[in-house]
Structure 1
Amino acid sequence: MKKLIFIAFTIVLFLGCKKEAPAEPTAPTATDEPAAEQPAEFADAKYTEIGKKHMAALASGDVDGWMADYADNAKYYWNGGDSLVGKAAIDKFWRDRRANVIETLSYKNDIWFPIKINKPQQMEAPGVWLMSWYEVTAKYKGGSSMTQWMHILYHFDENDKIDQVSHFVDRVPVQAALPKKK
């Protein structure tokens, strides 16, 4: 008898806990609310192509081609606190750098990630950002060279021009490779 009660109890418990099959999804109706906007989403892959073209121009010494991607009011920041404000200042710095300091530049192992920030979480600006990581080798006039990983964040304005750059670089290997001033 105890065995029968135990078996009956087990069956009732088993049947009572049996999960229902999930309901079939229904098609959205006109009264359904739209999905909430995500804080961030993948951006168009065209921004990766802009970034690759941008860096290839600088590597080849085509400063005009490199500058074509910048907005007139662009800002260029380095992680050490230095900055350039305005397309003219960025152009002057990099034109001088490519003509008088850097002999060759090459990039490899590049990684690109375009993202659109819809709702800033902290201090980042809304809009399209392109994150890039790559290994750069710079050979300087005078024969020294350095290789290191760098990280650059590009922000694009509504015209798909770069209006902000944040460039993360270790300045120690750069300074060590630069020709010594006499």
Structure 2
Amino acid sequence: MKKLLLVALCIPLFIGCKKEAPAEPAATTTPDAASAPVEIADAKYTEIGKNAIAAMTKGDVDGWIANYADNAKYYWNAGDSLVGKPAIDKYWRDRRANVIDSISFKNDIWIPVKINKPQSVEKPGIWLMGWYQVTAKYKKGKSMTQWMHILYHFDANDKIDEVNQFLDRAPINAAMAKP
């Protein structure tokens, strides 16, 4: 009787533990990179960004502007802008010579991406997103430190044809104010 009771109790346990045949694996497809809206781009763009801030730190405006296209546009988040490599070069050359005594960048982060299918107003193609902490000492003796964000867009020749820089003007204005 005990054996019968034990068998009666164990049968449901064995039935519940029965292995089922494995299901057919679902078909997996890897999306073609060109069909993905965004993908990580070549690390060479990160090097372009790093080299640009290294050149600006040294005051080497020629090295900094070397990767700009002739038709480049430079936008700030406040709405002001520069159009054309000569205008961008003139602005930064004057700024480094007459306004900024020294400038340094640290804690930089770079992400190169390729936009295959724009999701809103962004241009397709290669973008380099950068974040860094900037410390600038001005000719008037004051300095400022803040985090800045920058977006570089590259043309088909790997030249920068658009820059969007996001910064806070208040610390810059305070550092440039007359004592």
The two structures share one fold, judged by TM-score above 0.5: yes
Alignment of 1:83-94 (within 5 A): 83-94=81-92
Q: Is the 8 A contact 1:101 1:140 kept in 2?
A: yes
Equivalent residue number for residue 133 of structure 1: 131
**Normalization by structure 1: what TM-score?**
0.85
Counterpart CA distance in 2 for 1:13 and 1:64 is 75
Equivalent residue number for residue 43 of structure 1: 41
Residues 137-156 of structure 1 show CA distances to partners (whole Å, capped at 9, x for unaligned) of 10000101001111111111
Amino acid at match of 2:135: T
Equivalent residue number for residue 52 of structure 1: 50
Instruction: For structure 1, list consecutive stretches of 5 or more residues without a partner in the other structure.
Output: 27-31
Counterpart CA distance in 1 for 2:90 and 2:147 is 25
Q: Is the 8 A contact 1:140 1:179 kept in 2?
A: no
Percent identity, aligned pairs only, is 61
Deviation at 1:166, TM superposition (A): 0.7
The structure 2 residue matched to 1:171, chosen from 166, 169, 172, is 169
**Compared with structure 1, are the counterparts of its residues 91 and 35 closer, same or farther at alpha carbon in structure 2 (3 Å cutoff)?**
same
Deviation at 1:14, TM superposition (A): 2.7
Q: Is the 8 A contact 1:116 1:127 kept in 2?
A: yes
Equivalent residue number for residue 101 of structure 1: 99
**Compared with structure 1, are the counterparts of its residues 9 and 137 closer, same or farther at alpha carbon in structure 2 (3 Å cutoff)?**
same
Instruction: For structure 2, list consecutive stretches of 5 or more residues without a partner in the other structure.
Output: none
**Normalization by structure 2: what TM-score?**
0.86
Counterpart CA distance in 1 for 2:144 and 2:127 is 28
SS state of the match for residue 121, structure 1? coil
- What's the C-alpha RMSD, in Å, of the aligned pairs? 2.6
Moved over 4 A (4+): 1-6, 21-26
Equivalent residue number for residue 14 of structure 2: 11
**Compared with structure 1, are the counterparts of its residues 58 and 19 closer, same or farther at alpha carbon in structure 2 (3 Å cutoff)?**
farther
Deviation at 1:119, TM superposition (A): 1.4
SS state of the match for residue 112, structure 1? strand
Counterpart CA distance in 2 for 1:54 and 1:48 is 10
Tell me how many residue pairs correspond in the alignment. Answer: 174
Amino acid at match of 2:14: I
